[in-house]
Structures are given as C-alpha cells and as structure tokens.
Structure 1
Amino acid sequence: MEYRSLSLRCVICNVFDYQLNAVVSLTGSKKSHNLVYEHKHFEFGNQDNTVIKKEFLIPYQKG
C-alpha cells in the first residue's frame, strides 16, 4: 500500500466565520487541498477574525 504525507498551511482570515464548521472535507473536489479546519469552532471562540488550516495530500517520498 502506498502511503501519503501531509502538508498543512495556516491562514488568518479577516472574517468572523469562514465555513460554519470545525472541519470541512473537500474529498472528490477539484481543490488542491482536501480538509479545512477552522480552529474557532473547536473552542467556541467569538474573535473578530478566524484561523483556518488547509490540509494538502502529498505523495510520500522515502527519506
């Protein structure tokens, strides 16, 4: 079985709410990333801005 690795990218967004959920899966979409996490929803935050993390699948390379 081939394994994959992950690359994560954090972004600060100047919006109150980016996606209405803690995690959104974009499986099967044409996007370059497959999951988006919005940290505010894990802690029920009320900040004016929000932080998201995009998860990118990348091929595993030994070493």
Structure 2
Amino acid sequence: MYKKAVTSVKAGTLKEACERIQAAHDLGFVVEVFQFEKAKPDGVFTPNLFMIDLFLPVKEGAE
C-alpha cells in the first residue's frame, strides 16, 4: 500500500495522542507516530512530545 502525506499534528500527552490517532483512524487516515522525548517525571506539559503524521491510503499505480 502506498500513502500520500496529508498533514502532521502534535500532542503533548499520551492520552491526547491516542485521541488524535483514534479520530484520524475513524476518518480513514493511515497514521505514523513519533515520540520525540520522554515525558517529564514532574508532570510538566510538553506540547511537542508526540508528532502524528496523517496519510491517505493510495492504491498501487494511482497518483
């Protein structure tokens, strides 16, 4: 399966990342998730902790 990049979104917590992944999946997107750093032990909010890339699935040979 090929994929066409659509956009990227950021999430600061695992819960927020899971919610965004579920919403994207429900809309038919393929997702890739990257975690840029570990969560802070003192609970400090890190707005760029996760990057979620959204793609549309594309059939082979279709452009």
Q: Same fold (TM over 0.5)?
A: no
Which structure shows the higher helix fraction?
A: 2
Structure with more relative contact order (C-alpha pairs < 8 Å, separation 6 or more): 2
TM-score, normalised with respect to structure 2? 0.44
TM-score, normalised with respect to structure 1? 0.44
